[in-house]
Amino acid sequence: MVDEPAVQLGRNLTYGLLDSIGRAIVTGQFEDQVFPTEAELAKQHGVSRSVTREAVKMLTAKGLLSARPRQGTTVQPTSSWNLFDTDVLRWMLERQLSVDLLRQFNELRVAVEPEAAALAARVAGEDDIKRIDDGLRRMQAAERGLDDPLEADIAFHVSVLRASKNPFYIQLRDVVSTALRTSIRFTNRIKGRTADVAEHAKVRDAIASRDPGAARVAMRTIIGDVLVLIEDRLPSTD
């Protein structure tokens, strides 16, 4: 028990360094330059070599870095990054110009969430539908200023993924939650209002009525509207 505060402090230092270096990599601060050695990183950030080594190891696992004998540590191209890692996705979404990434993320959503809703309409249990109901009620409360609109919207979409009972869809919940925090803020600023509760209610009703086709269409409509808003904000390629 005596060592617990020191252990916790070590973890905080490691994750703080992880966040600092990860964000720097994703925002391009190491482009066209040699990535620092662990000793240099430790000195720059005022932390121990063991903290630095652990942070570099975690960034390597996320696909941002590669460490090889006699070649040192190098920054990996974006194609090697683990985009399903919530830290990596958060850093990418925090970049100044992330509208294109939001479009790509919502293209993933439109491929996954309507099918998850359709599956939920076939297999969801009463507890699953109750969680969807709770998410919808939170969205309704948020419209009256009694709940957080962002958290309520996320809770609804995550509850639908869970109701699909498909472990692959369910494991996307953290990615969806992380990216929705940026996506919803972005689209709400454009629309000047929060999510359309009536459209979300259609998803809930279709799932509760065991109508996979209606659930699929209702969820696709929600995400399709988001994609239209994002496409309108992308620069023209003409």
pLDDT at residue 192, as a whole number: 61
88 in a structural domain: no
Same domain for 199 and 132: yes
Domain range spanning residue 70?
Answer: 4-77
85 in a structural domain: no
Considering its fold, how many domains does the chain have in total? 2
The answer to whether residue 153 scores a pLDDT higher than 80 is yes
Domain boundary, last residue among 16, 49, 77: 77
Same domain for 102 and 27: no
The answer to whether residue 203 scores a pLDDT higher than 50 is yes
* Stronger pLDDT, 64 or 238, i.e. the higher one: 64
Provide the CATH number for the domain around residue 10. 1.10.10.10
Same domain for 214 and 150: yes
pLDDT band, residue 7 (cuts 50/70/90): very low
pTM, entire model: 0.83
123 in a structural domain: yes
The answer to whether residue 236 scores a pLDDT higher than 70 is no
pLDDT digits (tens, 9 = 90+) for 40-90: 999 999 999 999 999 999 999 999 999 888 778 999 999 999 999 999 999
128 in a structural domain: yes
113 in a structural domain: yes
92 in a structural domain: no
Query: What would the DSSP string read from start to end of the chain?
Result: -TTHHHHHHHHHHHHHHHHHHHHHHHTTTTTTSPPPPHHHHHHHHT--HHHHHHHHHHHHHTTSEEEETTTEEEEPPGGGS-TTSHHHHHHHHTSS--HHHHHHHHHHHHHHHHHHHHHHHHH--HHHHHHHHHHHHHHHHHHTTSS-HHHHHHHHHHHHHHHT--HHHHTTHHHHHHHHHHHHHHHHHHHTS---HHHHHHHHHHHHTT-HHHHHHHHHHHHHHHHHHHHHHSPP--
